[in-house]
Structure 1
C-alpha cells in the first residue's frame, strides 16, 4: 500500500496525485469528520436553495419589467399614431377653413363692390 499514487509530469515539473492515504487521522475522529462534512453539505444545499430562489425572483422581476416596457412602448406607438391622425385631421380642417375663408373674402369683396354701385345708383335718382 502506497501513501500516494500518481503520475509525474517532468515536462511541467508537477506530480498529478490520483489518491493519497491520510495517516494523521485517528480512527476515533472519523465520526466527527463525517458529521462535519455532512453539516457542510447541508449548508451548501441551503445556500444553493437560497441562490435558486433569488434567481427565480430576479427572473420574475425581469419578465415583469420586460412586459411593462413593451406595454409602455406600445402605448407610445399608439399615442404617436393618434397624434399623427389628429395633426392630419387638423391640417385638413385648417386647409378647408382657409379655402372657405378665402372664398368668403372673395364673395365679400364682390358683394361690397356691387352693393356700392347699387347704392350709389339709388342715391342719385331723380325726384
Structure 2
C-alpha cells in the first residue's frame, strides 16, 4: 500500500483475533465466543466498529492501516484493509480513501466528529487490481 505509506499512514500487523477484554481497547467488528469460555474474542472483520490502535498511541501517528486476512459476510478473505485516522478535516483523508474505493470490491466507511477534527474508519475487501501492494 505504497500510496498509504507515502501519505503518512503506518502499517500494523494484521492480528487475526484479539481478546474482547484487552487493556488497549483494540477491537474488531465481529465477536465470537471461545470455548470453554466465558471469554469472547474479536475476529478481524469487515465493518467500521473497530479500533486498530489505543488512543495512547496517537502521539506516534494519527494515521494507521492494517492489510491481511479477515472475515467478510461469513467468508474468509485474504485482502481485508482496515484504515483508521484522526484528521483535521475529512478532506485530508479523501485522496487516500478515494484510491481505496476505486480498487475495492466493496467498502464501508465512517466519519465521526472528534474534537476539532474527524475520526475516520474504512474497511475494504480489495480486488485483484490491488494485489501486489498497488
Common topology (TM > 0.5): no
TM-score range, shorter chain: under 0.3
TM-score normalised by structure 2 residue count: 0.20
Q: Which has the higher strand share?
A: 2
Point out the structure with the larger helix share: 1
TM-score of the superposed pair, with normalisation by structure 1: 0.21
